[in-house]
């Protein structure tokens, strides 16, 4: 007798927990063949709010961790993902990706995580500076995370776009609230499970599913969100983001990228979500002593 | 006290900087496409010396049509000349501007003081040298851009529209123009309506330098002139320094247009005195933090936090030091605090002083004589201020300091960061590990430890949060004017 | 007057907790004094004030009574062809020359200051230092310029330094005590501040930068640091202490900068020779030349100003 398969209930991911949406609503996206993907949470404004609160709560700890530690945690995500490769390939296939492309996408995603894991404790070495000011001061500039980043993930991929946005943002010490692809949401929630088992503190990554028309506005008007990572090129959305971002001068970055390209990764995706801090301190020159010591 | 043998009263006689070698024309035109042209409306507005309320000159009022002409000139210069020039040649032009400015430094300083009300000591020793140095610094970047952006190809943006404030008129023009030119852009710049003169002097210098026509265009006018620049469809980049309120309007206005922006906006920066600080130097840092340039400084240390153990002594010393400040004619070499930039700004400051009094805070003002003519405000501090007081939350942009006390490091970090702004901060302590704990936790783009209000062309400047985004100065200041491929 | 002050009932602080000094901040503050522009009548007033604050000094192994007598004459007759000039404040000599000097200036307002305590090194036992001091006082010194034991100070023996000053103060009797810190050997401004505090609490009437034998001597940074210490001591005890920068102040411009600094840190109360002195030998003639330049409108030559 054939065994009855256990179907997965897709939830959302807030503060390290997997609640259903507080609204109790759901939607039922279908794949290109017209098959039901599942009953997916239709997150509400309040879910956005809760996610931002969770992200803020996690921010202090995450941003102050040693960069080396964040590097290890990102690498750990890659390890976990490697272990669940088959599941992601299956999910991608269910969502309409070919077997070959699905395998490629999952592998590239893993490699991308490893790529950004390596950057965590290096980007500051490349992008910071000691500034040779004319007065008797030691002056240096170094990056600090911007804060809470709202990520509007690639609408046309389920996994690679999502991870390509999250990885540079958290590698730089930010926490984030992610709106998953509306029509391809499955991998986002499964990826949340990977994160949840990878030493990533709860709240660093929060993932919501649902309608962008409903969720973009509460996210981009939220006064405690500091930046937006938008993956896409819809001019109406970009305009809305930049307009409502003006409320608290969010840093708005829009990327029209094909994340399946090997080259769609670089240092600047990290530094776009960094603030530069310049510190001055006097240098005492005792008794006029010079280099002739 | 011993009995006094005789009463000694020694005061400094007036020591006015000479204005005899200064030429201020009766009228200034717009600088478009390498020429000085009349505004199409035929309208001019007066610029006054805020220390005397005397009219210095009348300034052309640019409208949309003038701005369009300026943008067209900038576009043409970009397409035909500037974008084709090698970095090396661009750099040489910028060096030349720096040198011409240095040669005319004293003249520029005097005009800055006349037009802006700032003291000659500051315009001579700070504003003008820094402005010259800014050009000199960025000139050297023009042929080295690829070193600043590893692994990327660097391209210029096109035409930059730049709008600058009245607090450091020539310096802000330098902060805007120098990196833009170094990165290969052309420029349409608008100075603030109360302080156009040094920008027009800079226009003369630029013309004399032989910079190709249209690479830098300077249009004078009010807010509507600025709006015309921001909204012009052929502008690729908007760089603005000014208030947060206007910054937000600009971000909204350019939403969805693809124009790149950097905004350097307001602040309410915390200056924190720990109980182990070098007290006398800290007091000097407080003075320099809030009374430098009459407090017309976006990064002014306008919120003072003093640890309770030293609060009494710090406040006592601060008051005494305030009393030794000389306020008066900005042209006098001994003046420490000059004139408020405009009547409008003086009204704003006085409004906040009234609010402070009404909120129940205790006010102390320096016991100096205030000139009768012109716009002046004595150095002012408020004690007994709470985090929720209006005067501790809103940017006053004048010589008004609020003082709060605190008990622990964690408390002061929380209070300092408890603000929508994040431009600058000051930390005073003798203990290295404590200094770096504070500097790393304060949400601010510039943190001065055991010093305050220091600027240098090599040092990036700009804010976190609602103090804006983008950096000016240093290697990082280049990214505001390039796109990476 | 001042000599009774040690009876007061203020607490002696822990000198290891003396305020910290940030040198770069001090340099910036000093630069502000140096940008003050002193013109016309306020310059003339200041130049005369400076003349009147000079301790005309000769401290050489080869000093002779004749040399000292000549200097004393100069002290009282700075430039007789020009009316209305003050005398200097004092002449400053070795103990062996006090008697000679006292006899010369006895009928003038010029005081006699004597260095003592095994000047300039201070490397002698306390008994010797006390004898040295008492000798000078008995010879007629109005003021005693002692040196602190810098070696002991740098070894952290602050109590030793304090007790020594207190003992010398007692030996001074009615003579006012100037305590020389020899800041060039203390090196850091933190040390200058600490030594200033020790000296004032131990009974100094004046604190003085240097012997003139060690470089750097009276830099403005050092003097500024000491002036702030005087201010704080005055706040804490109500006692006014004098200041004497010595060594290196050789021209009028430097002297004016120092006066600006005194005025802005301590106020006009200190702008008399009772509370402020310049220890200098060549300053007087430069100030005189400046005064004459202001008066006549032409630049002066040293040929016209006597060197004693």
* Chains contacting chain A through 3 or more C-beta pairs under 8 A: B, C
- Break chain C down into helix, strand, coil percent, rounded to 5: 50, 10, 35
DSSP-derived letter for residue C106 is: T
B63 to each of B189, B191, B204, C227, how far by Cα in Å? 14, 14, 21, 58
Q: With an 8 Å Cβ cutoff, are B280 and C19 in contact? A: yes
What residue of C is the nearest CA neighbor of A136? Answer: C24
- Shared domain check, B333 and B207: no
Please choose, from the candidates B463, B457, B454, the residue with its C-alpha nearest in 3D space to the C-alpha of residue B475. Answer: B457
Q: With an 8 Å Cβ cutoff, are A248 and B420 in contact? A: yes
B333 to each of B36, B121, B128, how far by Cα in Å? 34, 6, 15
Evaluate if residue A288 carries a pLDDT over 90.
no
In the predicted model, what is the mean pLDDT of residues C93-118? 97
- B460 domain residue, yes or no: no
In this complex, how many residue pairs, one in chain A and one in chain C, have their CB atoms less than 8 Å apart?
21
- B128 domain residue, yes or no: yes
Q: With an 8 Å Cβ cutoff, are C1 and B285 in contact? A: no
Of B256, B422, B460, the CB nearest to A242: B256
Q: With an 8 Å Cβ cutoff, are A243 and B256 in contact? A: yes
- B219 domain residue, yes or no: yes
Q: Which long-range contacts (CB under 8 A, 24 or more apart) does B287-291 make?
A: B287/B318, B287/B321, B287/B322, B287/B325, B288/B452, B288/B453, B289/B426, B289/B452, B289/B453, B290/B379, B290/B399, B290/B400, B290/B401, B291/B322, B291/B325, B291/B336, B291/B337, B291/B379, B291/B399
CATH number of C23-294: 3.20.20.70
Q: With an 8 Å Cβ cutoff, are C27 and A136 in contact? A: yes
Rounded Cα distance, B97 and B202, in Å: 9
- Shared domain check, B416 and B300: yes
Query: Token pair for residue B145?
Result: 């851009």
Q: What is the pLDDT of residues C176-228, one digit of tens each?
A: 999 999 999 999 999 999 999 999 999 999 999 999 999 999 999 999 999 99
pLDDT at residue B1 in the model: 39
- Shared domain check, B139 and B239: yes
Of A243, A266, A275, the CB nearest to B252: A243
pLDDT at residue A5 in the model: 84
Beta-strand (E) ranges in B242-342? 260-264, 270-273, 303-307
Residue of B476, B477, B482, B483 to mutate when probing chain A, most A C-beta within 10 A: B476
Please choose, from the candidates B255, B193, B155, the residue with its C-alpha nearest in 3D space to the C-alpha of residue B50. Answer: B193
Residue of C20, C21, C23 to mutate when probing chain A, most A C-beta within 10 A: C23
The β-bridge relationship of strands B159-163 and C54-57 is: unpaired
Q: With an 8 Å Cβ cutoff, are A283 and C24 in contact? A: yes
- Shared domain check, B365 and B328: yes
- Shared domain check, B250 and B386: no
Q: Are C266 and C229 in contact (CB under 8 A)?
A: no
Three-state DSSP state, C87: coil
- Break chain B down into helix, strand, coil percent, rounded to 5: 40, 20, 40
Evaluate if residue C1 carries a pLDDT over 50.
no
- Shared domain check, B286 and B179: no
pLDDT at residue C8 in the model: 58
Min Cα–Cα distance to chain A from C91, Å: 30
Evaluate if residue C9 carries a pLDDT over 70.
no
pLDDT at residue B3 in the model: 44
**Residues of B at the A interface, defined by Cβ within 8 angstroms:** 133, 150-152, 244, 247-249, 251-252, 254-256, 263, 265, 420, 422, 435, 439-440, 444-451, 454, 456, 458-462, 464-466, 468-469, 471, 474-476, 484
Strand partners, B461: B472
Q: With an 8 Å Cβ cutoff, are C188 and A283 in contact? A: no
Of A126, A242, A277, the CB nearest to B444: A277
In the predicted model, what is the mean pLDDT of residues C264-277? 96
- B405 domain residue, yes or no: yes
Of B6, B12, B278, the CB nearest to C25: B278
User: Which of the residues in chain B have pLDDT under 50?
Assistant: 1-4
Catalytically annotated residue among B298, B377, B395, B466: B298
- Shared domain check, B391 and B302: yes
pLDDT at residue C3 in the model: 46
Of B2, B430, B451, the CB nearest to C1: B2
Chain A residues with CB-CB distance to B469 below 8 A: 249, 251
- Burial per residue of A222-238, b for 16 or more beta-carbon CB atoms within 10 angstroms, e otherwise: beebbbbbbbbeeeebb
- Shared domain check, B152 and B229: yes
Chain A residues with CB-CB distance to C187 below 8 A: 286-287
Chain A residues with CB-CB distance to C27 below 8 A: 136
Rounded Cα distance, B400 and B271, in Å: 13
What CATH number should be reported for the domain holding residue B43? 3.40.605.10
* Chains contacting chain C through 3 or more C-beta pairs under 8 A: A, B
What residue of B is the nearest CA neighbor of C240? Answer: B1
pLDDT at residue A285 in the model: 74
Query: Token pair for residue B66?
Result: 């003038």
Active-site residue flag, B299? no
pLDDT at residue B21 in the model: 87
Rounded Cα distance, A228 and B149, in Å: 23
- Shared domain check, B424 and B280: yes
Q: With an 8 Å Cβ cutoff, are B324 and C46 in contact? A: no
Q: With an 8 Å Cβ cutoff, are A131 and B466 in contact? A: no
φ and ψ at residue C307, rounded to 5 degrees: -115, 115
Q: Is A135 left (phi over 0), alpha (psi -120 to 50) or beta?
A: beta
- Shared domain check, B479 and B372: no
- Shared domain check, B130 and B110: yes
In the predicted model, what is the mean pLDDT of residues A234-246? 96
Of C24, C187, C216, the CB nearest to A282: C24
Burial class (CB in 10 A: 0-12, 13-18, 19+), B407: exposed
Evaluate if residue A291 carries a pLDDT over 90.
no
pLDDT at residue A290 in the model: 47
Q: What is the pLDDT of residues C286-304, one digit of tens each?
A: 999 999 999 999 999 999 9
Min Cα–Cα distance to chain C from B278, Å: 5
Catalytically annotated residue among B29, B107, B264, B472: B264
Residue of A134, A282, A283, A287 to mutate when probing chain C, most C C-beta within 10 A: A287
**Residues of A at the C interface, defined by Cβ within 8 angstroms:** 135-137, 282-288
Residue of A138, A279, A283, A284 to mutate when probing chain B, most B C-beta within 10 A: A279
Rounded Cα distance, C145 and C89, in Å: 14
- Shared domain check, B203 and B331: no
In this complex, how many residue pairs, one in chain A and one in chain B, have their CB atoms less than 8 Å apart?
117
pLDDT at residue A286 in the model: 57
- In CATH, the architecture of A26-258+274-280 is 3-Layer(aba) Sandwich (3.40)
Rounded Cα distance, B449 and A283, in Å: 11
Chain C residues with CB-CB distance to A284 below 8 A: 22-24
Evaluate if residue A247 carries a pLDDT over 90.
yes
Min Cα–Cα distance to chain C from A287, Å: 6
Q: What is the pLDDT of residues A72-123, one digit of tens each?
A: 999 999 999 999 999 999 999 999 999 999 999 999 999 999 999 999 999 9
Reported confidence tier of residue C2, pLDDT bands at 50, 70, 90: very low
φ and ψ at residue B327, rounded to 5 degrees: -115, 140
Catalytic center residues of C: 145, 208, 244
Give the domain extent around B209.
27-265+465-484
Evaluate if residue A201 carries a pLDDT over 60.
yes
Of B150, B449, B469, the CB nearest to A281: B449
- B232 domain residue, yes or no: yes
What residue of B is the nearest CA neighbor of C2? Answer: B2
Please choose, from the candidates C148, C157, C250, the residue with its C-alpha nearest in 3D space to the C-alpha of residue C200. Answer: C148
Chain A residues with CB-CB distance to B435 below 8 A: 281
In this complex, how many residue pairs, one in chain B and one in chain C, have their CB atoms less than 8 Å apart?
81
Rg (CA), chain B: 23
Q: Is A105 left (phi over 0), alpha (psi -120 to 50) or beta?
A: alpha
- B455 domain residue, yes or no: no
* Chains contacting chain B through 3 or more C-beta pairs under 8 A: A, C
pLDDT at residue C270 in the model: 97
Q: Are A107 and A115 in contact (CB under 8 A)?
A: no
Burial class (CB in 10 A: 0-12, 13-18, 19+), A93: middle
Chain A residues with CB-CB distance to C154 below 8 A: none
Please tell me the number of Cα atoms within 13 Å of A172 on its side-chain side: 29
Q: With an 8 Å Cβ cutoff, are B244 and A249 in contact? A: yes
In the predicted model, what is the mean pLDDT of residues A248-263? 96
pLDDT at residue B246 in the model: 97
What residue of A is the nearest CA neighbor of B252? Answer: A243
- B339 domain residue, yes or no: yes
Query: Token pair for residue B149?
Result: 């952006």
* DSSP line for A8-64: PPP--BBTTB-PPPTT--EE--B-TTS-B---EE---HHHHHHHHHHHHHHHHHHHH
What residue of B is the nearest CA neighbor of C190? Answer: B278
Rounded Cα distance, B201 and B123, in Å: 15
Reported confidence tier of residue A1, pLDDT bands at 50, 70, 90: confident
């Amino acid at each position: 007798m054939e065994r009855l398969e256990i179907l997965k209930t897709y939830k959302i991911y807030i503060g390290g927990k997997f609640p259903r949406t507080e609204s109790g609503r759901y939607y039922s996206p279908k794949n290109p063949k017209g098959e039901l993907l599942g009953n997916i949470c239709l997150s509400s404004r309040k879910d956005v709010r809760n996610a931002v609160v969770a992200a803020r709560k996690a921010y202090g700890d995450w941003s102050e961790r040693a960069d080396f530690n964040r590097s290890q945690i990102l690498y750990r995500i890659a390890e976990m993902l490697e272990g669940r490769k088959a599941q992601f390939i299956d999910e991608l296939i269910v969502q309409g990706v070919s077997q070959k492309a699905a395998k490629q996408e999952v592998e590239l995603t893993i490699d991308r995580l490893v790529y950004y894991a390596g950057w965590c404790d290096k980007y500051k070495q490349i992008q910071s500076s000691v500034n040779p000011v004319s007065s008797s001061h030691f002056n240096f500039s170094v990056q600090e995370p911007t804060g809470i980043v709202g990520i509007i993930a690639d609408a046309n991929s389920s996994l690679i776009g999502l991870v390509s946005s999250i990885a540079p943002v958290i590698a730089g010490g930010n926490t984030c609230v992610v709106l998953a692809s509306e029509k391809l949401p499955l991998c986002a929630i499964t990826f949340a499970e990977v994160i949840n088992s990878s030493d990533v503190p709860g709240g660093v990554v929060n993932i919501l599913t649902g309608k962008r028309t409903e969720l973009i506005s509460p996210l981009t008007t939220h006064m405690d969100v500091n930046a937006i990572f938008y993956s896409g090129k819809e001019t109406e959305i970009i305009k809305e983001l930049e307009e409502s971002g003006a409320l608290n001068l969010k840093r708005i970055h829009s990327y029209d990228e094909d994340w399946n390209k090997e080259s769609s990764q670089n240092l600047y995706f990290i530094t776009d979500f960094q603030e530069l801090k310049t510190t001055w301190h006097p240098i005492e020159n005792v008794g006029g002593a010079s280099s002739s010591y | 006290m011993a009995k006094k043998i005789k009463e000694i009263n020694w005061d400094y006689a007036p020591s006015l900087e000479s204005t005899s070698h200064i030429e201020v024309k009766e009228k200034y035109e717009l600088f478009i496409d390498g020429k000085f042209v009349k505004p199409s409306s035929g309208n001019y507005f007066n610029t006054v010396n805020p220390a005397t309320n005397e009219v210095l000159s009348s300034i052309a009022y640019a409208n949309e049509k003038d701005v369009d002409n300026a943008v067209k000139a900038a576009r043409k210069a970009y397409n035909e000349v500037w974008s084709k020039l090698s970095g090396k040649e661009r750099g040489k032009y910028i060096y030349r501007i720096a040198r011409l400015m240095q040669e005319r430094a004293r003249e520029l300083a005097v005009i800055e003081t006349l037009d802006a009300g700032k003291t000659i000591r500051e315009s001579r020793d700070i504003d003008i040298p820094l402005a010259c140095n800014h050009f000199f610094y960025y000139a050297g970047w023009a042929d080295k851009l690829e070193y600043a952006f590893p692994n990327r190809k660097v391209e210029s943006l096109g035409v930059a529209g730049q709008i600058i404030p009245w607090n450091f008129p020539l310096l802000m023009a330098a902060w805007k123009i120098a990196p833009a030119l170094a990165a290969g852009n052309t420029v349409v710049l608008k100075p603030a309506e109360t302080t156009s003169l040094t920008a027009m002097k800079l226009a003369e210098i630029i013309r004399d330098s032989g910079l190709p026509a249209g690479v830098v265009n300077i249009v004078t006018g009010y807010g509507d002139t600025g709006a015309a620049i921001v909204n012009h469809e052929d502008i690729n980049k908007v760089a603005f320094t000014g208030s947060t309120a206007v910054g937000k309007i600009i971000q909204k206005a350019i939403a969805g247009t693809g124009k790149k922006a950097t905004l350097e906006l307001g602040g309410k920066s915390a200056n924190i005195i720990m109980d182990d600080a070098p007290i006398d130097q800290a007091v000097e840092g407080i003075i320099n933090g809030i009374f430098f340039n009459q407090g017309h400084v976006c990064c002014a240390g306008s919120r003072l936090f003093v640890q309770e153990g030293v609060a009494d002594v710090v406040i006592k010393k601060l008051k005494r030091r305030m009393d030794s400040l000389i306020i008066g004619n900005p042209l006098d070499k001994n003046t420490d605090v000059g004139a408020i930039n405009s009547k409008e700004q003086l009204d704003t400051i006085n409004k906040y002083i009234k609010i402070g009094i009404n909120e129940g805070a205790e006010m102390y003002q320096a016991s100096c004589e205030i000139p009768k003519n012109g716009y002046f405000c004595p150095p002012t501090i408020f004690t007994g201020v709470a985090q929720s007081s209006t005067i501790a939350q809103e940017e006053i942009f004048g010589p008004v300091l609020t003082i709060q006390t605190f008990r622990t490091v964690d408390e002061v970090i929380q209070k300092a960061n408890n603000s929508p702004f994040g431009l600058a901060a000051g930390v005073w302590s003798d203990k290295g590990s404590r200094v770096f704990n504070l500097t790393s936790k304060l949400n601010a783009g510039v943190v001065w430890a055991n010093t305050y209000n220091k600027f240098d062309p090599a040092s990036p400047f700009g804010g976190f949060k609602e103090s804006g985004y983008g950096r000016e100065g240093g290697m990082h200041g280049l990214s505001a004017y390039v796109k990476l491929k | 007057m001042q000599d009774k002050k040690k009876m007061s009932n203020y607490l002696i602080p822990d000198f290891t907790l003396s305020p910290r000094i940030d040198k770069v901040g001090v340099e910036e503050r000093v630069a502000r004094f140096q940008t003050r522009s002193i013109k016309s009548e306020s310059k003339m007033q200041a130049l005369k004030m400076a003349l009147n604050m000079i301790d005309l000094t000769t401290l050489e192994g080869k000093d002779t009574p004749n040399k000292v007598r000549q200097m004393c004459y100069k002290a009282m007759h700075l430039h007789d062809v020009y009316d209305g000039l003050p005398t200097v404040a004092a002449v400053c000599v070795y103990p062996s020359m006090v008697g000679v000097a006292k006899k010369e200036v006895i009928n003038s307002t010029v005081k006699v200051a004597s260095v003592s305590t095994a000047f300039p090194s201070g490397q002698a036992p306390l008994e010797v230092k006390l004898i040295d001091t008492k000798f000078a006082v008995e010879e007629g010194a109005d003021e005693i310029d002692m040196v602190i034991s810098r070696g002991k100070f740098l070894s952290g023996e602050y109590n030793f330094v304090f007790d020594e000053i207190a003992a010398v103060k007692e030996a001074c009797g009615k003579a006012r005590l100037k305590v020389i810190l020899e800041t060039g050997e203390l090196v850091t401004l933190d040390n200058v501040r600490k030594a200033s505090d020790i000296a004032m609490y131990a009974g100094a009437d004046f604190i003085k930068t240097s012997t003139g034998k060690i470089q750097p001597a009276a830099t403005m940074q050092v003097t500024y640091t000491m002036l702030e210490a005087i201010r704080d001591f005055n706040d804490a005890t109500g006692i006014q202490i004098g200041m004497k920068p010595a060594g290196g102040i050789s021209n009028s411009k430097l002297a004016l900068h120092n006066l600006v600094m005194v005025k802005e840190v301590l106020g006009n109360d200190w702008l008399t020779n009772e509370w402020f002195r310049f220890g200098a030998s060549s300053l007087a003639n430069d100030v005189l030349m400046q005064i004459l330049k202001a008066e006549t409108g032409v630049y002066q030559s040293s040929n016209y100003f006597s060197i004693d």
